[in-house]
């Protein structure tokens, strides 16, 4: 694969203004469309450029822009449902704009008025934010950390250098927010780098077993010039109570819930149309085998519980945003932690039991039903579910609030 350093794409003026109802309808319609070729795209690793253009044109990328800046400012509950729906169609496509929404939120929390005005206008024009935040190699190897250093005597200019991995969305983005230290050991800031900036290379080298078409490759930064106007503080985000982490986490949970629902839906369709009944069941159709019916009932309970916990987690974030203090922020984090633990389990179980209930034919590679398990297993590795359970346990035992960071 080759590095992509082309000029940024032009913004798409006049994207639709969506209400909560129309956002859900748009997401559901796109999910149906995305599902049609999801198995083939995954098998051939065909990046979803056309589908992403449809997503951008739908107006969904702009639904969290504040009302003061002309946006719909929809609730977290609505945003989470949009992600869940998109993931039922193709979770790779759903994951690509996740960082976009996280960094819109970063601007809401820490951007200056001029930064908010500029970047929210970009979002309303249909432009994307990607991500370049994970350092390549160990987090403890500071010699290779991405840094912002002063550009000689130019007081408002910085030189950005480093390399980032797992940069989901960067391949398709118009702007790439980059997490970087000031100098070598200074606090983390976000540098907003426009696609096509000299010294920026976005490389399509993602080779994960799942989420194969997210384009989660590498971003290299070699002396990229960034001005003060394109830098926002990140380190201040968690000094006070915040829903920054819980917002990002509930979108991840929604994505896993979507994978679980898609796996269950496709398993049911396969059992009805293609599975052979086991002789001991003494039925004509596999769908009438009482053991298979019971297994589907168990999976339905798990998936419904996961979906309900995602919705409740999103509502907890909404409640905290109305009156934000330490207790409200902790309640939101814990509610979302429960959702992440449940959706991790439900997505892996449903995508694995798919083969148990569907039978030997389901294992044919050409059907690509295993993509559900590969997607679930890959995406759920973002943050260990056991730590979510640990924080819930500490709260249950002693009322200990979870830590403040982007993973809870």
The answer to pTM > 0.85 is yes
> 109-152 pLDDT, tens per residue?
999 999 999 999 999 999 999 999 999 865 544 556 899 999 98
pLDDT in tens, 137-149: 655 445 568 999 9
pLDDT higher than threshold 60 for residue 8:
no
Strand segments (E) across 144-210: 147-151, 154-165, 175-182, 188-194, 200-203
* Crossing angle for the helix pair 113-124 and 98-110, to the nearest 10 degrees: 150
CA distances from 110 to 105, 243, 248 (A): 9, 13, 16
CB 150 within 8 A of CB 40: no
Q: What is the mean pLDDT of residues 340-351?
A: 98
Mean pLDDT of the chain: 94
User: What is the distance, to the nearest Å, from the Cα of residue 93 to the centroid of all Cα atoms in its chain?
Assistant: 9
**pLDDT, greater one: 35 or 152:** 35
Average pLDDT over residues 7-16: 51
Amino acid 139: pLDDT:
54
In this prediction, residues 174-197 reach a mean pLDDT of 95
Provide the CB-side half-sphere exposure for 207 (13 A, CA). Answer: 2
Q: What band does 314 get if pLDDT is binned at 50, 70 and 90?
A: very high
Segment 212-225 shows an average pLDDT of 97
Question: Could you tell me which residue, 5 or 358, shows the higher pLDDT?
Answer: 358
pLDDT at 185: 83
Contact 266, 350 (CB under 8 A): no
In this prediction, residues 169-175 reach a mean pLDDT of 96
Q: Other C-beta atoms within 10 Å of 331: how many?
A: 19
Whole-number pLDDT of residue 152 = 86
Give the pLDDT of residue 13: 43
What integer pLDDT is reported at residue 275 of this predicted model?
Answer: 97
What local confidence, expressed as pLDDT, does residue 143 receive?
A: 52
pLDDT above 70 as % of the chain? 95
Q: Is 73 left (phi over 0), alpha (psi -120 to 50) or beta?
A: left
Give yes or no for residue 366 having a pLDDT over 70.
yes
**Residues forming beta bridges with residue 226, ordered by sequence position:** 158
- Residue for token pair 């709260």: 395
pLDDT of residue 406: 87
pLDDT of residue 183: 87
Domains present along the chain, CATH in parentheses: 3-124 (1.10.540.10), 134-235 (2.40.110.10), 240-398 (1.20.140.10)
Report whether pLDDT(18) > 50. Answer: yes
Q: Does 164 score more than 70 pLDDT?
A: yes
**Core vs surface per residue 130-148: b (16+ CB within 10 A) or e:** bbbbbbbeeeeeeeebbbb
């Amino acid at each position: 694969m080759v590095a992509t350093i082309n000029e940024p794409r032009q913004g798409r003026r006049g994207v639709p203004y969506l209400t909560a109802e129309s956002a859900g309808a748009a997401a559901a319609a796109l999910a149906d469309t995305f599902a049609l070729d999801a198995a083939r795209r995954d098998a051939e690793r065909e990046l979803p450029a056309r589908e992403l253009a449809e997503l951008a044109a739908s107006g969904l990328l702009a639904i969290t822009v504040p009302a003061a800046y002309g946006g719909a400012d929809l609730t977290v509950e609505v945003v989470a449902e949009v992600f869940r729906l998109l993931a039922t169609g193709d979770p790779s496509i759903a994951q690509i704009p996740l960082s976009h929404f996280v960094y819109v939120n970063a601007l809401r929390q820490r951007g200056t008025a001029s930064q908010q005005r500029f970047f929210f206008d970009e979002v309303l024009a249909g432009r994307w934010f990607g991500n370049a935040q994970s350092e390549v190699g160990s987090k403890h190897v500071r010699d290779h950390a991405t840094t912002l250093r002063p550009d000689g005597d130019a007081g408002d200019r910085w030189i950005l250098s480093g390399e980032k991995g797992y940069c989901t969305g960067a391949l398709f983005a118009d702007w790439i927010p980059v997490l970087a230290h000031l100098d070598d050991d200074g606090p983390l800031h976000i540098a907003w780098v426009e696609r096509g900036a000299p010294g920026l290379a976005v490389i399509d080298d993602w080779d994960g077993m799942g989420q194969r078409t997210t384009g989660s490759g590498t971003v290299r930064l070699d002396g990229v010039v960034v001005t003060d106007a394109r830098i926002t503080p990140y380190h201040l985000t968690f000094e006070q109570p915040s829903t920054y982490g819980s917002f990002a986490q509930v979108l991840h949970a929604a994505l896993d819930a979507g994978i679980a629902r898609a796996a269950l839906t496709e398993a049911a369709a396969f059992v009805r149309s293609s599975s052979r009944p086991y002789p001991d069941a003494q039925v004509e159709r596999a769908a009438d085998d009482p053991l298979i019916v019971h297994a589907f009932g168990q999976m339905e309970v798990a998936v419904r519980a996961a979906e309900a916990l995602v919705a409740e987690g999103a509502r907890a974030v909404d409640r905290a945003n109305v009156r934000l203090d330490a207790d409200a922020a902790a309640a939101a984090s814990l509610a979302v932690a429960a959702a992440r633990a449940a959706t991790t389990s439900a997505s892996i179980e449903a995508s694995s039991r798919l083969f148990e209930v569907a039978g030997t034919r389901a294992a044919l590679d050409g059907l690509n039903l295993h993509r559900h398990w590969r997607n679930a297993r890959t995406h759920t590795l973002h943050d260990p579910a056991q730590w979510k359970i640990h924080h819930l346990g500490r709260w249950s035992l002693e009322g200990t609030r979870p830590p403040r960071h982007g993973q809870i």
